[in-house]
């Protein structure tokens, strides 16, 4: 999400949608009957952006951005081929000095396929777009959303989501020279399918922010590289603090063979401006049926939103922008021999911009849907909280999004479910379930950067609430796979290792690093994600996930998910 307009492109997910299209064709043939009640499955049932934007902010507050986002089960049961983000971030590097030259080199996905993003391709050059949501590529489904720190450093040629894997689609890890995230926390696992939550969240908040920190000095080899280590901080009930960061080289390597990009990546540039949380509705299954008069009825899965007694859904609160005084300067001073900082971002070092919103353009099969904004109106509530205003519904803690639609004369309108029951078999048809036997994410047997220098001690395992079994190994921080692609000096490695040793020793996971949530309560991560370093590895070592596999055939239901 950009400072003023959400800037996601459906083409970004071209490979996912191609797979979904093939699946839809297969399933549609099994659903279709030779009658006026033909039922077909599509995956363009709903698209739009439930968006907010932060208004202007002083230039000094470009060193980080974050907010508290609501966490809840958008759907009751897992559905195959379903992708909707809960309120999430969209951070781009600042490029006000360039409005003509392409940032994306020839041969990149963005440059070769998305001419509408020209001439600069700035909106698809580099992004940090991770957050909460459901992704079509998720393999382990349990009903609630997950959290993933997704980023694209090179015009969508590479997607980086964890210390080992891209966005869900690949069984094997990224190639060694495409790894981009360093695990920083020695207490929280980062599985490739995303971080699940405990229980059944119903509007509790997860706070998260990306902060630019100077963990290393600028470099000239293998290409000019700046100092910004964009670090993810989380604020949950059972975990607080830094989790992982993108190496500056992750952003600068696009300039290796394209000198125009030197100094223009997120390694050297700050964020493009104020950001706030938005929901991207991307891939939603749709059951459709054409009736005798030629018009079409359709149904999508039931989407649900938590509401209070006044019909208000609170989606995003506490949007915060960070200055160099928040943590950047303190880290720099510490690294150069000064006092170690607490890691806390003091209130006087941050800025909380005013939030705005707008009506949403909802589409189904590229056709505008009329009437939804009147049912769920985007609103900025008192306290600078972004959300949706529904008609008051006393006695209910859930608002339900329209599910049934009618296409006629080029117009798509919301209709009552009873109309579908009378004229079609859509209410009886079922949406596809996720694959009950998904392939594992697997880095075993360890080779290349995963094996040399390699982990210490045996591989350990933990079962998560999403029905997966996660295998992980303990690596000395500087020996984890992402660093092995770089020819760093012994001195540089030792300085960074010592810095992380101190963070592990002195920054506990119950300290309030980010500004505290101003209302409501915090969500809890799956306790299985929280680990304790073995004896002798209490600081300076990190748990790196090497495999995630299914251990149950059916999706885990939330009723039995609470530990």
DSSP states of 57-92: --TT--SEEEEEEEEE-SSSS--TT-EEEEEE--B-
| Phi-psi map region of 491: left, alpha, beta (phi>0 left; psi -120 to 50 alpha) | alpha
Look at residue 38 in the predicted model and tell me its pLDDT: 81
User: What is the Cα–Cα distance from 290 to 272, expressed in whole angstroms?
Assistant: 46
Preceding amide of 393 cis, omega within 30 = no
SS3 414: strand
Tokens 């470099």 belong to residue: 219
Tokens 């985007």 belong to residue: 378
User: What is the Cα–Cα distance from 102 to 107, expressed in whole angstroms?
Assistant: 12
Q: What is the pLDDT of residues 434-446, one digit of tens each?
A: 998 999 999 999 9
Look at residue 540 in the predicted model and tell me its pLDDT: 98
Q: Which residues of the chain have pLDDT under 50?
A: 1-36, 553-563
Residue 282, CB half-sphere, CA atoms under 13 Å: how many? Answer: 26
DSSP states of 97-159: T-SSS-SSPTTSHHHHH-GGGTTT-GGGTSEE--EEEE-TT--S--SS-EEE--EESSTTS--
Are 205 and 385 in contact, with CB atoms under 8 Å apart? no
Q: What is the pLDDT of residues 53-77, one digit of tens each?
A: 998 899 999 999 999 999 999 999 9
Tell me the sheet residues that pair with 411.
408
Look at residue 396 in the predicted model and tell me its pLDDT: 84
Look at residue 559 in the predicted model and tell me its pLDDT: 36
Look at residue 273 in the predicted model and tell me its pLDDT: 77
Q: State if pTM tops 0.85.
A: yes
Look at residue 6 in the predicted model and tell me its pLDDT: 34
Comparing CA positions, the residue from 378, 370, 356 lying closest to residue 405 is 370
């Amino acid at each position: 999400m950009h400072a003023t307009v959400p800037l996601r492109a459906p083409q970004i997910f071209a490979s996912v949608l191609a797979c979904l299209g093939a699946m839809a064709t297969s399933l549609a043939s099994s659903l279709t009957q030779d009658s006026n009640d033909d039922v077909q499955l599509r995956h363009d049932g709903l698209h739009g952006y439930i968006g907010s934007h932060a208004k202007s902010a002083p230039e000094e507050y470009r060193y980080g951005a974050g907010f508290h986002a609501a966490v809840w089960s958008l759907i009751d049961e897992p559905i195959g081929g379903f992708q909707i983000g809960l309120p999430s971030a969209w951070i781009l590097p600042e490029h006000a000095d360039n409005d003509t030259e392409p940032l994306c080199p020839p041969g990149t996905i963005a440059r070769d396929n998305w001419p509408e993003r020209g001439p600069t391709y700035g909106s698809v050059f580099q992004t940090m777009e991770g957050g909460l949501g459901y992704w079509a590529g998720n393999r382990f489904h349990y009903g609630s959303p997950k959290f993933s720190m997704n980023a694209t450093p090179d015009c969508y040629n590479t997607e980086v989501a964890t210390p080992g894997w891209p966005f869900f689609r690949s069984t094997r890890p990224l190639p060694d020279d495409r790894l981009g995230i360093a695990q920083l926390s020695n207490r929280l696992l980062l599985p490739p399918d995303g971080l699940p939550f405990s229980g059944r969240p119903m509007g509790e908040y997860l706070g998260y922010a990306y902060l630019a920190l100077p963990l290393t000095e600028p470099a000239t080899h293998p290409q000019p590289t700046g100092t910004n280590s964009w670090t993810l901080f989380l604020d949950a009930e059972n975990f607080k603090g830094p989790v992982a960061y993108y190496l500056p080289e992750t952003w600068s390597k696009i300039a290796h063979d394209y000198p125009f990009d030197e100094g223009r990546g997120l390694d050297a540039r700050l964020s493009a401006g104020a950001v706030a949380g938005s929901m991207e509705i991307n891939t939603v299954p749709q059951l459709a049926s054409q009736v005798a008069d030629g018009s079409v009825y359709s149904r999508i899965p039931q989407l649900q939103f938590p509401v209070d007694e006044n019909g208000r859904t609170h989606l995003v609160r506490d949007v915060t922008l960070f200055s160099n005084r928040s943590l950047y300067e303190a880290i720099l001073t510490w690294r150069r021999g000064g006092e170690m900082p607490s890691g806390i971002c003091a209130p006087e070092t941050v800025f909380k911009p005013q939030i705005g919103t707008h009506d949403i353009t909802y589409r189904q099969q590229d056709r505008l849907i009329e009437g939804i904004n009147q049912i769920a109106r985007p609103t900025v509530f008192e306290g600078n909280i972004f959300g949706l205003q529904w008609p008051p519904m006393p006695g209910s803690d859930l608002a339900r999004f329209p599910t049934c639609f009618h296409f006629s004369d080029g117009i798509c309108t919301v209709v009552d479910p009873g109309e579908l029951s009378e004229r079609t078999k859509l209410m009886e048809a079922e949406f596809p379930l996720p694959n009950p036997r998904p392939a594992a994410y697997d880095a075993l047997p360890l080779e290349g950067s995963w094996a040399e220098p390699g982990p210490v001690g045996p591989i350990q395992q933990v079962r998560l609430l999403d029905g997966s079994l996660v295998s992980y190994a303990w690596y000395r921080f500087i020996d984890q796979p992402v660093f092995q692609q770089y020819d760093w000096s012994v001195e540089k490695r030792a300085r960074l290792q010592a810095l992380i040793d101190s963070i592990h020793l002195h920054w506990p996971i119950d300290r309030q690093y980010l500004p505290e949530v101003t209302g409501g309560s915090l969500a809890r991560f799956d306790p299985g994600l929280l680990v304790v370093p073995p004896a002798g590895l209490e600081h300076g070592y990190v748990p790196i996930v090497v495999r995630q596999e299914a251990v149950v055939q059916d999706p885990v239901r939330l009723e039995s998910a609470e530990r």
